[in-house]
Amino acid sequence: MMPSRVKLKRGTDGPTPMSTPTSSPSPTPTPTTMPMQTPIATLNTASSQHNSTTSRRKPKLTPPSGPIPLLLLTVLTLLILDTRSCQGLRLTNGGGSLSKGAAANKEQLNIGLIAPHTNFGKREYLRSINNAVTGLTKTRGAKLTFLKDYSFEQKNIHFDMMSLTPSPTAILSTLCKEFLRVNVSAILYMMNNEQFGHSTASAQYFLQLAGYLGIPVISWNADNSGLERRASQSTLQLQLAPSIEHQSAAMLSILERYKWHQFSVVTSQIAGHDDFVQAVRERVAEMQEHFKFTILNSIVVTRTSDLMELVNSEARVMLLYATQTEAITILRAAEEMKLTGENYVWVVSQSVIEKKDAHSQFPVGMLGVHFDTSSAALMNEISNAIKIYSYGVEAYLTDPANRDRRLTTQSLSCEDEGRGRWDNGEIFFKYLRNVSIEGDLNKPNIEFTADGDLRSAELKIMNLRPSANNKNLVWEEIGVWKSWETQKLDIRDIAWPGNSHAPPQGVPEKFHLKITFLEEAPYINLSPADPVSGKCLMDRGVLCRVAADHEMAADIDVGQAHRNESFYQCCSGFCIDLLEKFAEELGFTYELVRVEDGKWGTLENGKWNGLIADLVNRKTDMVLTSLMINTEREAVVDFSEPFMETGIAIVVAKRTGIISPTAFLEPFDTASWMLVGIVAIQAATFMIFLFEWLSPSGYDMKLYLQNTNVTPYRFSLFRTYWLVWAVLFQAAVHVDSPRGFTSRFMTNVWALFAVVFLAIYTANLAAFMITREEFHEFSGLNDSRLVHPFSHKPSFKFGTIPYSHTDSTIHKYFNVMHNYMRQYNKTSVADGVAAVLNGNLDSFIYDGTVLDYLVAQDEDCRLMTVGSWYAMTGYGLAFSRNSKYVQMFNKRLLEFRANGDLERLRRYWMTGTCRPGKQEHKSSDPLALEQFLSAFLLLMAGILLAALLLLLEHVYFKYIRKRLAKKDGGHCCALISLSMGKSLTFRGAVFEATEILKKHRCNDPICDTHLWKVKHELDMSRLRVRQLEKVMDKHGIKAPQLRLASSSDLLNHHHLKERPPLLGNLSLAASAQDLYRWSYKTEIAEMETVL
């Protein structure tokens, strides 16, 4: 309803109306659904049409047509007069005294107030406003100094009552025509209506429009939780009512109190349902450190069939957020689906309780959160809102930065002319948000968060229980939740669902499962139970039955059977630990039974066997072991999410081999060796030789030949090679060192290179001089040597376990391979691995994770898996078709994977004793021949090469030297090798013959006589040679170097039939020309040698 207003003229003693309304108030508009946003121009047009329509509907005051009692007529007259007098009181502030004098010169501070429409409550609103304004000067806190310069009285609070569902034109008229006309600086939006459905659109539109204009809003609306914040809530709004975050926190405190760790969230399409779900999730995340929550489901109910998701889940505690009407429909459907009763708890929000009206459809024992929305609470919040505004004005005006910023929305307009947004509104809002006013007794101050929500809130905890006369149900307050206290929740006695005397467990009722298994390490290991107690020790797992059903007689002694390992054994392993976690989380009991035929489950003659057969025939509820998922099995049973990935792998054994014959070459690659051998050694050799040859103190023979008393210095290219190799390998051998300074410096440089080279070489040689481990390196299951076993000679021996997933996969895709390996198949994985270790099998094919575990358990590290995994799949829990347990186990598996439980179990069970490189005990074992065979191979290669060089030496002396002696006139051979050059000279032949004679021994006296005679003649020849050299030297003739054809031939004098004549007939006075001619005769060397 838009009440008429009276405007006062300044400077008068009394109220002088500028326009006096004569008509009675118009009737309350009919509730309609208002759109969220409407163009302002359109709304103005609609407003004018609405006003004209309203004016046509004004009722006329006519006397009653029939007789009316005098008392009734008197009461009606008094009520009309009282209403008009109250309006005059509001507008004139009780008189005209404050409108005179100084009050007329003060700047006016105006605010707008929106309150719920009532027929008889206007007087209460005015009384509350008057008490709040007059109380500003009597406050116990800081004094409000702005009242000296500004006028803020009851007349400055422009009050309007709004219906439950006003039309958009009415909202626009109130905001644009009523409030902006008087330049309001804030709006108080105080509504206690609890219409959480689509009717909240009017509140959303009003708050959105105020935010668009930049006017701060201080609100207290009971259904604030029903507002879509992201879409329509004002960014300049302070909320005095408890927020949706407070309600969700209070609801979760109830769950924490009774240790209900898991719950579901159920909402309707009520406005703000997304905000409620988000608030619950954020609160759960905040509480994770001290209390772990699990949200099982989050359901938005659009039709009752949506609740079937709760039927199939483990949810026993539900948080409900909906309107009361929607909650009735939801709970009626929940009752039909048996989601109510003593095992189910429904915790509801304020929107369901509303005015504490309990519907008969609500189940007994419901819990909920609530806060006071009565008229008295509304009046109190109006007073708080006025205080917040006043203290915000005080802080704003006392700040020097705001000296030129007025608190007025003058020239602000909804029309095109004027400003469209108040510039100072956001600045003023920050001061309002930072206000802290004194709260009620034993309560904290009223303060706000950065989002404008109330920082501290108090909520009542309600319980739906039978009334005193047990005729109906009533909401009764059983406790209180205070956000500012450490122990936030205080609850008294509760009437539990189903009139139970104890709170529900909050989890599904315990159920029993028969679980079938087949042992396989490390997933399930079997070990005997304690023979005395018949129980499993802590590290032995749980009892499981290994006897078949027909072996368990009805009269069997259970205690005695537990001690008999043919009936019961202890099961442990990865799957058992996983089963224990499932049982703890889901709350079920179980019986573990081994499959009777001991098979995994494959199609055999058109029928399933093993584990899959038990599920197909519904002899068991679940299969828990390392059961691989494949398409054939999925066609007849239901699998859970895989808890471990696996595939088909191949295991082989490592056998000790020999050190590679080229191991000594492996520290450097081929390019490095070529660089050292071809470049470095050759460059160093030729540089040393060249520097020695060019050096004045080196290999220049002229300096030494000038002095005949000095023995000529001999240095050749081969001796340079000998020097380079000796330095490189640091060999302790006799070498001829160069005499030139430059060549010696180059030799030292080469020695430095050799030190660095050998250091690097020896440091890396140890890493390669190790025993090579030999194994069959298959690329995978599709390796050609396995797929076509007869293509390799001899054929490899490999197998698997029959009637397993691996066996069926090989049979399906590699038929030839499957037929071949039947002769090598084993009954268990342990037998297959043992056959690989002792050499009976070359490889064993099976599940990858199982083989990896067995490889890790081998202490000697003699096993290894090779190649890539084939047919990647996973292990899963198997259930009968359409089992109701699949979904709950899947959810728990995903949780275990997310929180790392599966990974921790894998690390615990999959690690073994084998560590790569951890074989210290082998370091003291003696080295076998094959471990350093490469050294012997290197020695053998050196011997063969030396033999080849010996052969070449014989070929040289027998065939090449004769011809080379005639052609080597420039002594070039001596540059290459002194030994070669010496072998081509007379002096060299003599030295060679001397060495041979020194070592020669005769076997008879005749030989000794001849030998003595030859030695004597040789000594005489040497004397004659020296005499000849002196004679030639006196004549200035250089003595030529005489050459021999073969010194060995000359020494074989006993084979000569006639001796050549001696040099005795050569006269000392012979001419130089004759001596010169003689020097070129090569036969003289042979004759002198014979002598």
Q: What confidence tens digit (pLDDT) does each residue in 380-435 have?
A: 999 999 999 999 999 999 999 988 888 888 778 877 666 778 888 999 999 999 99
Render the burial of 21-56: b for 16+ CB within 10 Å, e for the rest: eeeeebeebeeeebeeebebeebbebbeebeeeeee
pLDDT at 120: 62
1078: left (phi > 0), else alpha (psi -120 to 50), else beta?
A: alpha
DSSP code string of 995-1023 = HHHHH---SSHHHHHHHHHHHHHHHHHHH
pLDDT at 982: 59
For 333, phi and psi rounded to 5 degrees? -65, -35
In sequence order, the 6+-apart residues with CB closer than 8 A to the CB of 73 are: none
Average the pLDDT over 557-568 and give the result: 86
Mean pLDDT score of the chain, rounded to an integer?
77
Of 231-240, 534-543, 695-704, 931-940, the poorest mean pLDDT is in 695-704
pLDDT at 10: 34
963, HSE (Cβ side, Cα atoms, 13 Å): 5
Listed in order, strand segments (DSSP E) in 495-535 are 511-517, 525-527
For 374, phi and psi rounded to 5 degrees? -70, 170
Of 715-724, 754-763, 767-776, 930-939, the poorest mean pLDDT is in 930-939
CA 97, 101, 106 angle in degrees (round to 5)?
105
Nearest CA-CA partner of 225 in 180, 188, 273: 273
Q: What confidence tens digit (pLDDT) does each residue in 686-738 have?
A: 888 888 777 766 655 444 444 445 445 566 778 888 888 888 887 777 777 77
Average the pLDDT over 663-691 and give the result: 85
Report how far residue 227's alpha carbon sits from residue 201's, in angstroms, rounded to the nearest whole number. Answer: 8
Average the pLDDT over 246-267 and give the result: 93
In sequence order, the 6+-apart residues with CB closer than 8 A to the CB of 223 are: 191, 193, 194, 195, 196, 200, 203, 351
Report how far residue 31's alpha carbon sits from residue 167's, in angstroms, rounded to the nearest whole number. Answer: 8
Under DSSP, is residue 386 helix (H, G, I), strand (E, B) or coil?
A: helix
DSSP code string of 230-274 = HHH--TTEEE-S--HHHHHHHHHHHHHHTT--EEEEEE-S-TTHH
Report how far residue 758's alpha carbon sits from residue 854's, in angstroms, rounded to the nearest whole number. Answer: 43
Is 969 exposed, middle or buried, given 0-12, 13-18 or 19+ CB atoms closer than 10 A?
A: exposed
This prediction's pTM: 0.53
In sequence order, the 6+-apart residues with CB closer than 8 A to the CB of 977 are: 716, 717, 718, 719
DSSP conformation class of 630: -
DSSP conformation class of 959: I
Sorting pLDDT into bands at 50, 70 and 90, what band is 927?
Answer: low
pLDDT at 1010: 77
Tell me if 829 sits within 8 A of 801, measured CB to CB: yes
Q: What confidence tens digit (pLDDT) does each residue in 608-664 have?
A: 999 999 999 999 999 999 999 999 999 999 999 999 999 999 999 987 665 666 777
Between these two residues, 984 and 798, which has the higher pLDDT value? 798
The structure tokens listed for 696 are: 């004045």
Q: What confidence tens digit (pLDDT) does each residue in 1013-1064 have?
A: 877 788 888 788 888 878 887 877 765 554 444 444 444 444 433 444 433 3
- Kindly tell me if the per-residue pLDDT of 87 is higher than 80: no
743, HSE (Cβ side, Cα atoms, 13 Å): 26
Tell me if 589 sits within 8 A of 622, measured CB to CB: no
Report how far residue 535's alpha carbon sits from residue 565's, in angstroms, rounded to the nearest whole number. Answer: 11
Sorting pLDDT into bands at 50, 70 and 90, what band is 934?
Answer: low
Nearest CA-CA partner of 109 in 488, 458, 522, 391: 391
What is the 3-class SS of 161-227, one letter each residue? Answer: EECCCCCHHHHHHHHHHHHHHHCEEEEEEEECCCCCCHHHHHHHHHHHHHHHHCCCEEEEECCHHHC
- Kindly tell me if the per-residue pLDDT of 212 is higher than 70: yes
Instruction: Judge if the upstream peptide bond of residue 794 is cis by omega within 30 degrees of 0.
Output: yes
Neighbours of 149 (CB within 10 A): 10
Report how far residue 670's alpha carbon sits from residue 680's, in angstroms, rounded to the nearest whole number. Answer: 14
The structure tokens listed for 538 are: 């802590």
pLDDT at 358: 80
Average the pLDDT over 960-988 and give the result: 62
Q: What confidence tens digit (pLDDT) does each residue in 286-344 have?
A: 998 889 898 988 999 999 999 998 887 888 999 999 988 899 999 999 999 999 988 89
Give 589's strand partners: 512
In sign, the C-alpha dihedral spanning 305, 306, 311, 312 is positive
